[in-house]
Amino acid sequence: MNLDSKSEVSDWWQYLQTVAKQEDVQAGRSLQTISPSTPRTEMIATDVPIDGSANAVAGTEFSQINVQSQLQSESQLQSESQLQSQLQSQIQAESYLQRPCINNRFYLGEPIASGAFGQVFLATDSESSHQVAVKLEERSAKYPQLDFEAKVYRWLSGGKGIPSLMWYGQEGAYNVLVVERLGYSLDHLFQFCKGRLSLKTVICMTTMLLHRLEYMHNRGVIHRDLKPENFVLGLGEDSSVLYIIDFGLSKCFRDPVTQKHIPFREGKSLIGTPRYASINNHRGCEQSRRDDIEALMYIVIYLLRGSLPWQRLKHNSGEDKMKHFKQIERVKSSLTPEELCRGIPSEFAVMLKYARTLQFDETPDYMRLRRLLSRLFKKQMFTNDNYYDWTERMVLQTDM
Ligand SMILES: Nc1ncnc2c1ncn2[C@@H]1O[C@H](COP(=O)(O)OP(=O)(O)O)[C@@H](O)[C@H]1O
Ligand SMILES: [Mg+2]
């Protein structure tokens, strides 16, 4: 099945969500099961052919019986467990081959997220049998971004905490970006930890993010849409590495040949997410490295305190968005770093003050910011053991 029409993907999306919901209701689970860390065994159990008919599940059972009898006659001597694992991989192979396919290689699976600009799915790479993440964007999108995002992925490739790009191209009505599959986003983990993270976890995450920003900035790119949803943990050996994703709104702030910084401009519209936007971004100034650092500081305060003061501003759906953004800007700029950081260590106020006073074309002192964090880490006598707020609960969950 190829992605020739838009309706194929949205049918697939809706179909999967209906199946997931039905299964969740039956099993008494929450929708958490369609998260990126769904154990492989559960993926197999929920694989059903996508013919949309009520007999889809029955179809899977039928093929299971055929596969089983064939395997038994071929190799009587194999142990029960060997048979079982062969059976499972064959069922998996048979079922994923019936899914929508990209570039004759990547078979779409469950949805991970539906964002403002596209949809992200899990998929199976038929060459390696590994899972990957696939981001789809309609080719007819008013403001296509995926082509640019793929270029940024290529440009940044090889950096620590930058996901590997596996393929970019067009399939049917879609632009498709295929990247290595990662784990939960910082937003998922924040929710998982009941809407607040500990000082130790936040120091470790912020230190990694400062490294990611330093790397990107050194390559001449600013992110411009920093938020917890765009930071994602790795999997397996990399499960304590925080990755940065979603380069759709990124921008080159320096000419790659002459190294000349882009000029300062005013009168621009806000780009990114208002909750974490820098004050200068609100005010219509061209963004540069300083705005990434300031946005990072609002994220850090949000993770530690559980909320930001401007979240309380009421916004009716019919109301003018610009008016709401203006209100956010007013509250944000009326609060001093000390006021915003009340109740959390003073180092964060120092960092925010520093971010707010950076010049447009100034190179941030990433090392100085990390040093503030490492001193605080030592002062608190934390141990560097990759043990975070979610570690224990995650292990328990994957063991089940
Ligand atoms: N490689 C990946 N592995 C696992 N989950 C991912 C991956 N890429 C994205 N996601 C999930 O999908 C969400 C949306 O992806 P993103 O690239 O940020 O798209 P959008 O532009 O729609 O925000 C992320 O917040 C994250 O939860
Ligand atoms: Mg995103």
User: Which residue is associated with the tokens 């109301």?
Assistant: 319
Domain ranges of the chain: 7-180, 186-399
122 Cβ closer than 6 Å to some ligand 1 atom? no
At the topology level of CATH, where does 186-399 sit? Transferase(Phosphotransferase); domain 1 (1.10.510)
Instruction: State how far the Cα of 239 lies from the Cα of 161, in Å rounded to an integer.
Output: 11
User: Tell me, what amino acid is at 189?
Assistant: L
145 Cβ closer than 6 Å to some ligand 1 atom? no
Question: Mind listing the pLDDT tens digit for each residue in 144-163?
Answer: 999 999 999 999 999 999 99
205 Cβ closer than 6 Å to some ligand 1 atom? no
Q: What pLDDT is recorded for position 103?
A: 96
- What's the pTM value of the predicted model, to 2 decimals? 0.80
Helices (H), the chain: 6-27, 40-46, 56-74, 80-96, 146-156, 186-192, 199-218, 279-282, 289-305, 321-334, 337-340, 346-357, 366-379, 391-399
Whether pLDDT at 282 is above 90: yes
Which of 44-53, 91-100, 101-110, 358-367 is predicted least confidently?
A: 44-53
The rounded percent of the chain whose pLDDT value lies above 70 is 73
**56: pLDDT confidence band, cut at 50, 70 and 90?**
very low
Closest ligand to residue 185's CA: 1
Whether pLDDT at 66 is above 60: no
Q: What pLDDT is recorded for position 118?
A: 73
**318: pLDDT confidence band, cut at 50, 70 and 90?**
low
Whether pLDDT at 393 is above 60: yes
Question: Mind listing the pLDDT tens digit for each residue in 87-123?
Answer: 665 555 556 777 889 999 999 999 998 766 679 999 9
Q: What is the mean predicted confidence (pLDDT) over 44-68?
A: 26
Question: Mind listing the pLDDT tens digit for each residue in 77-94?
Answer: 456 666 666 666 555 555
Closest ligand to residue 113's CA: 1
Report the catalytic residues. 225
Q: What pLDDT is recorded for position 244?
A: 98
Instruction: State how far the Cα of 310 lies from the Cα of 327, in Å rounded to an integer.
Output: 8
**63: pLDDT confidence band, cut at 50, 70 and 90?**
very low
Alpha carbon of residue 276 to chain centroid:
16
Q: How far is the CA of 46 from the centre of ligand 1 (A)?
A: 22
Question: Mind listing the pLDDT tens digit for each residue in 238-249?
Answer: 999 999 999 999
**52: pLDDT confidence band, cut at 50, 70 and 90?**
very low
7-180: CATH superfamily? Phosphorylase Kinase; domain 1 (3.30.200.20)
Q: What pLDDT is recorded for position 74?
A: 41
Helices (H), 306-345: 321-334, 337-340
What is the 3 state secondary structure string of 24-90? Answer: HHHHCCCHHHHCCCCCHHHHHHHCCCCCCCCCHHHHHHHHHHHHHHHHHHHCCCCCHHHHHHHHHHH
Q: What pLDDT is recorded for position 12?
A: 56
Q: How far is the CA of 113 from the centre of ligand 1 (A)?
A: 6
Whether pLDDT at 38 is above 50: no
Question: Mind listing the pLDDT tens digit for each residue in 164-207?
Answer: 999 999 999 999 999 999 999 999 999 999 999 999 999 999 99
User: Tell me, what amino acid is at 338?
Assistant: E
Q: What pLDDT is recorded for position 72?
A: 38
Residue 171 host element (H or E):
strand 165-171
Query: What is the arrangement of strands in the sheet containing 174-180, beginning at the earlier edge strand?
Result: 101-102, 106-114, 119-125, 131-138, 174-180, 165-171
Biggest alpha carbon distance in the chain?
Answer: 77
Q: Please, what is the angle between helix 199-218 and helix 366-379, to 10°?
A: 160
**47: pLDDT confidence band, cut at 50, 70 and 90?**
very low
Whether pLDDT at 60 is above 50: no
Residue 123 host element (H or E):
strand 119-125
Q: How far is the CA of 133 from the centre of ligand 1 (A)?
A: 8
Select from 245, 247, 273 the residue to mutate for testing ligand 1; criterion: most ligand atoms less than 8 Å from CB.
245
Domains 7-180 and 186-399 share a fold: no
Instruction: State how far the Cα of 211 lies from the Cα of 330, in Å rounded to an integer.
Output: 31
Q: What pLDDT is recorded for position 312?
A: 87
- What does the mean pLDDT of the chain come to? 82
